[in-house]
Chains A and B, each alone.
Chain A
């Protein structure tokens, strides 16, 4: 059974860079033709797709976040990561990692990141 687990700081200061890691267990991150995705959800609001990465390193990003987002993968650690630069209070949200490209069958439990000084 594939499991995903997000980790990283729960508090980030405005203008700094948010960094999260998703650790995949129960299977190899590079096994199969899977994409790995980040999604976020502000409190009380809907889901927002942030971007995805293939194990080759190929990425796609949400146009509204593209200038600030970097997603990378470390197959040796079975992890993929999210960096979001120049954060503001509007980036406060629960961040989820998930498996898939057009639909997401496995999700992490989510991690709350608050942007505040």
Chain B
């Protein structure tokens, strides 16, 4: 199975909005509404930010939102804050009953 495709890096200024894309195939993202997004700060375990394409776990800021169109999912962070600077990973359930992650995107808050 091939990793999902994410941009290596994105950046934005405080208060701005950014979007991170995650591209897969019809066998993963396009075939299921089981896309998730994780935030990972250095030296820490990943934290679930979005699940099932657009659902936020309890306690996650509503500045984080998710969507999907075809084989591409997106994570949007609005009102960027310094604490949002981290690595972000997408994942998707696959037609083989496995799971695949994206390569990760480093978000820099300027």
Contacts and interface: CB of A to CB of B under 8 A. Distances in A.
Contacts of B1: 62-64
A46 interface: yes
Interface residues of A, number: 21
Contacts of A108: 45
Interface stretch (B17-25, B78-86, B92-100): B92-100
B52 A46 contact: no
Nearest to A109: B45
B102 interface: yes
Interface of B: 1, 3, 32, 34, 36, 38, 45-48, 51-52, 57, 89, 91, 93, 96-104
Contact of B36 (A48, A63, A102, A107): A102
A63 to B, nearest CB: 6
Contacts of B104: 46-47
Given A60-B98, A109-B45, 4 more contacts: A46-B3, A47-B91, A47-B101, A49-B101
B3 to A, nearest CB: 7
A48 B51 CA distance: 18
A46 B102 contact: yes
Main secondary structure of the interface of A (DSSP, over half): loop
Interface of A: 37, 46-49, 52, 60-64, 96, 101-105, 107-110
Nearest to A63: B1
A74 to B, nearest CB: 23
B20 to A, nearest CB: 14
Given A49-B100, A60-B97, A62-B1, A96 B51 contact: no
B89 A46 contact: yes
A47 B98 contact: no
A52 B97 CA distance: 10
Q: Which of B32, B57, B98, B103 has the most CB of A within 10 A?
A: B98
Contacts of A63: 1, 96, 98
